[in-house]
C-alpha cells in the first residue's frame, strides 16, 4: 500500500496543541468529533493513518485525562446501529468502556442525553449502574438554541446535574453524531464557572480538514460519509474575517457558531477567546499528509465505497431517496463511476456468466476480491458454501500457491456442520457463511498441514478490496471487515425471499 500520511508527525502536532490549550484553564472539556477508536474512515482516506491514533494519544496523556461518554436516549430507544461494527449504540458504549479501560484511561461516567424516561434508555441506565458505572441524565435544554438567557441559567444548563471530575482534561466522546457531546461540555462549563473555576471548551477534530482546499477529494469524502446528516463543507467566513485566512469547516459548526460564542461569553462573563469555529478545533491532521496524490486517490475510492453503502442502505429502507441522490451527486462532482472501483466489473461479469449458465431469473451472486498485488479473484456460491466464503478460500489458496482444485476442508468436517444447520437447528439456508467456513478450516488445520498453511495467509487479506453483486449477509460482511477488508455490494437482494 502506498503511504500518504505520517501518523507520528500527526500525533506530535496534535498532542502539543492539546497541551497548549490545557495550560490556559484549570480544566479543559475536549469534545471528540468522529470516532475515538477504530476510525476506519480516516485510515482509508489517509493511507498510513493509525485507526487508533486518537486513543494512543490519550494514553500518552492518561495522567491528565478522564472520559465522559454521551449517548442520546432516542438512539437507544430506536436501536440505532453503528454501521462499521453492526452493533447498537448502547452496546457500543459498553465496547467503548472496555476499550478505554484497556488503554488505562479513566472512564468517569456515562451521560444519557435528552432523557425523557424512554423505557429502553432506563433499562440501559440500570444495566450500567448495576455494573458499577456512574450514570447521569440530561434533559433537553430549555430555550435552545435561540434564548441564550434561558439556556445559561438554572432553568437551562443549571437543571443538569454537575458531573464530578478530577483531572485537567475531560474528554467527552460518544458512539456517533447527535449524541449531545457539545451540550454536555457547555453544561459542565456553566457549573464550573458557577463554582468559581476557570474551565474551557475545545473540539478534537479530524474532518473536514481545515487547511486543505474545500473541493479536495479528502474533504469531499467527508461529505460522502455524512450524507445522511446532510453535512456540507464550507469556507469558514468567521475565520476569514478574523485572520484573512481560508479555512474549511462544515455547515453545522458554522451555523451554530454565533449562538455558541454568545453562550460561552454568557457563561464566562467575558469575550470568547475563539473568533471562528476553526479556532475551537484542535485539528492538525492536514500537517500529517506527506503524499497528496496518494490521499486524493484513496479519497476517491472511499467516495465510491460510500456510494455503494448508501445505495444498499436505501434499498434496505434505512435512508431516504434524497440521501442516495446526494451520494450520487458527490460521485458526479468528481466524475467518478461505480466501475472505477476495480473489483466491481470482474464481479458483475462473473455474475452475468453464472446467470447464462444457470438460466435463472433470480440474482446470481458473485464476489470479487482484489489482493494487494492487484490480482483479482472471484467466487460463486454452491450448496456447500456461499459466494463470499468461496472467494475467501480462493484467495488464501492463491496466496499459498495451491491449485484451485484442492479441497482444504474435508467433507468429513463439512457434512456434520451442514446437517447441524439443516436438521438440528432447522435453518433453510444450509450453505456455510464465511465465519462457519473459517471455523471448519481451523478444525481441518489440526490434521491437514495444507489447511494450516492456508490459515496463516488470512492476515495477508488486510486492506484487500471486495465487491459482491448482491447484498451480503450481515455475518459475511462483518467477517470480511474483521479480516480488515473493504467491502461493497450492489444494492440488489440475492433472492425474492423476504425473511430467509
Within a 10 A sphere around the Cβ of 215, how many other Cβ atoms? Answer: 11
Q: Using omega within 30 degrees of 0 as the cis cutoff, is the peptide bond preceding 172 cis?
A: no
| CA–CA dist 397, 451 (Å, integer) | 9
Entry field: residues in the chain: 500
| CA–CA dist 297, 295 (Å, integer) | 6
Average pLDDT over residues 337-359: 93
| CA–CA dist 456, 397 (Å, integer) | 11
Residue for grid cell 490545557: 22
| CA–CA dist 173, 162 (Å, integer) | 17
Please name each of the domains of the chain with its CATH number: 7-217+242-288 (3.10.630.10), 344-489 (3.40.140.40)
Average pLDDT over residues 212-220: 97
Average pLDDT over residues 368-379: 97
Supply the DSSP string of 146-207, one letter for each residue.
T-HHHHTSTTTGGGSPPPP--SSEEEEE-SSTTSSHHHHHHHHHHHHHHTT--EEEEEE--S
Q: Is the pLDDT of residue 211 over 70?
A: yes
| CA–CA dist 15, 19 (Å, integer) | 6
pLDDT of 361 reads 57
Average pLDDT over residues 376-405: 94
- Extract the C-alpha cell encoding 355: 446467470
| CA–CA dist 393, 287 (Å, integer) | 41
pLDDT of 279 reads 93
Q: Is the pLDDT of residue 3 over 80?
A: yes
Question: Which residues have C-beta within 8 Å of that of residue 446, sequence separation ≥ 6?
Answer: none
Within a 10 A sphere around the Cβ of 169, how many other Cβ atoms? Answer: 23
- Extract the C-alpha cell encoding 421: 444447520
pLDDT of 359 reads 67
Average pLDDT over residues 297-306: 98
Q: What's the burial of 58, exposed, middle or buried (CB within 10 Å: 0-12/13-18/19+)?
A: buried
What does the DSSP 8-state code read for residue 340?
G
Between residues 80 and 285, which one has the greater pLDDT? Answer: 285
Identify the three-state secondary structure at position 468: strand
* CA-based nearest residue to 221, from 4, 408, 498: 4
Q: Using omega within 30 degrees of 0 as the cis cutoff, is the peptide bond preceding 208 cis?
A: yes
Q: Is the pLDDT of residue 427 over 90?
A: no
pLDDT of 362 reads 60
Q: Which long-range contacts (CB under 8 A, 24 or more apart) does 344-350 make?
A: 344/368, 344/467, 344/488, 346/376, 346/378, 347/378, 347/467, 347/468, 347/469, 348/469, 348/490, 350/378, 350/380, 350/469
Q: Is the pLDDT of residue 444 over 60?
A: yes
| CA–CA dist 13, 19 (Å, integer) | 10
Average pLDDT over residues 80-85: 75
pLDDT of 500 reads 64
| CA–CA dist 166, 266 (Å, integer) | 25
| Strand ranges (E), 248-343 | 248-250, 281-282
H or E segment to which residue 283 belongs:
none
pLDDT of 115 reads 97
pLDDT of 430 reads 86
Q: What's the burial of 70, exposed, middle or buried (CB within 10 Å: 0-12/13-18/19+)?
A: buried
Which tens digit of pLDDT belongs to each residue from 232-278?
Answer: 999 999 999 999 999 999 999 999 999 999 999 999 988 888 999 99
pLDDT of 103 reads 96
Which tens digit of pLDDT belongs to each residue from 177-204?
Answer: 889 999 999 999 999 999 999 999 999 9
| CA–CA dist 257, 29 (Å, integer) | 17
- Extract the C-alpha cell encoding 374: 492487484
Which tens digit of pLDDT belongs to each residue from 110-152?
Answer: 999 999 999 999 999 999 999 999 999 999 999 988 899 999 9
Residue 126 Rama label (left phi>0; alpha psi -120 to 50; beta): alpha
* CA-based nearest residue to 282, from 207, 205, 185: 205
218 with 212: CB under 8 angstroms? yes
Average pLDDT over residues 94-119: 96
H or E segment to which residue 133 belongs:
none
| CA–CA dist 417, 425 (Å, integer) | 10
Identify the three-state secondary structure at position 496: coil
Amino acid at each position: 500500500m502506498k503511504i500518504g500520511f505520517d501518523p507520528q508527525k500527526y500525533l506530535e502536532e496534535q498532542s502539543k496543541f492539546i497541551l497548549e490549550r490545557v495550560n490556559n484553564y484549570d480544566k479543559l472539556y475536549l469534545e471528540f468529533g468522529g470516532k475515538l477508536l477504530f476510525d476506519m474512515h480516516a485510515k482509508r482516506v489517509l493511507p498510513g493513518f493509525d485507526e487508533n491514533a486518537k486513543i494512543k494519544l490519550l494514553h500518552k496523556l492518561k495522567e491528565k485525562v478522564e472520559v465522559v461518554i454521551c449517548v442520546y436516549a432516542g438512539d437507544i430507544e430506536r436501536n440505532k446501529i453503528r454501521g462499521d461494527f453492526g452493533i447498537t449504540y448502547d452496546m457500543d458504549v459498553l465496547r467503548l468502556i472496555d476499550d478505554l479501560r484497556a488503554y488505562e484511561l479513566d472512564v468517569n461516567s456515562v451521560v444519557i442525553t435528552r432523557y425523557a424516561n424512554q423505557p429502553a434508555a432506563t433499562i440501559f441506565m440500570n444495566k450500567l449502574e448495576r455494573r458499577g458505572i456512574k450514570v447521569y441524565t440530561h434533559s433537553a435544554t430549555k430555550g435552545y438554541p435561540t434564548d441564550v438567557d434561558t439556556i445559561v441559567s438554572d432553568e437551562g444548563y443549571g437543571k443538569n446535574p454537575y458531573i464530578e471530575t478530577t483531572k485537567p482534561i475531560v474528554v467527552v466522546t460518544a458512539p456517533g453524531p447527535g449524541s449531545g457531546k457539545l451540550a454536555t461540555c457547555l453544561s459542565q462549563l456553566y457549573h464550573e464557572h458557577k463554582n468559581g473555576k476557570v474551565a474551557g471548551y475545545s473540539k478534537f477534530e479530524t474532518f473536514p480538514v481545515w487547511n486543505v482546499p474545500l473541493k479536495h477529494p479528502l474533504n469531499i469524502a467527508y461529505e460522502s460519509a455524512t450524507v445522511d446528516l446532510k453535512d456540507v463543507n464550507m469556507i469558514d467566513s468567521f475565520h476569514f474575517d478574523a485572520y484573512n485566512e481560508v479555512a474549511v469547516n462544515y455547515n453545522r459548526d458554522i451555523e451554530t457558531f454565533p449562538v455558541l460564542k454568545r453562550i460561552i461569553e454568557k457563561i464566562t462573563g467575558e469575550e470568547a477567546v475563539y473568533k471562528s469555529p476553526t479556532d475551537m478545533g484542535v485539528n492538525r491532521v492536514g500537517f500529517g499528509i506527506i503524499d497528496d496524490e496518494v490521499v486524493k486517490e484513496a479519497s476517491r475510492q472511499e467516495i465510491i465505497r460510500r456510494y455503494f453503502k448508501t445505495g444498499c442502505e436505501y434499498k434496505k429502507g434505512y435512508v431516504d431517496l434524497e440521501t442516495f441522490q446526494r451520494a450520487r451527486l458527490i460521485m458526479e462532482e468528481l466524475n467518478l463511476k461505480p466501475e472505477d472501483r476495480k473489483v466491481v466489473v470482474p464481479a458483475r461479469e462473473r455474475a452475468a456468466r453464472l446467470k447464462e449458465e444457470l438460466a435463472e431469473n433470480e440474482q446470481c451472486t458473485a464476489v470479487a476480491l482484489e489482493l494487494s498485488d492487484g490480482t483479482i479473484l472471484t467466487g460463486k456460491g454452491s450448496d456447500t458454501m456461499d459466494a463470499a466464503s468461496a472467494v475467501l478460500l480462493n484467495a488464501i489458496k492463491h496466496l499459498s500457491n495451491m491449485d484451485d482444485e484442492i479441497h482444504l476442508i474435508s467433507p468429513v468436517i463439512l457434512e456434520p456442520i451442514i446437517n447441524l444447520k439443516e436438521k438440528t437447528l432447522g435453518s433453510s439456508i444450509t450453505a456455510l457463511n464465511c465465519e462457519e467456513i473459517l471455523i471448519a478450516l481451523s478444525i481441518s488445520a489440526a490434521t491437514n498441514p495444507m489447511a494450516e498453511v492456508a490459515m496463516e495467509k488470512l492476515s495477508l487479506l488486510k486492506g484487500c478490496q471486495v465487491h459482491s453483486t448482491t447484498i451480503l449477509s450481515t455475518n459475511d460482511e462483518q467477517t470480511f471487515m474483521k479480516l480488515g477488508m473493504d467491502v461493497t455490494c450492489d444494492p440488489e437482494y440475492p433472492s425474492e425471499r423476504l425473511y430467509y
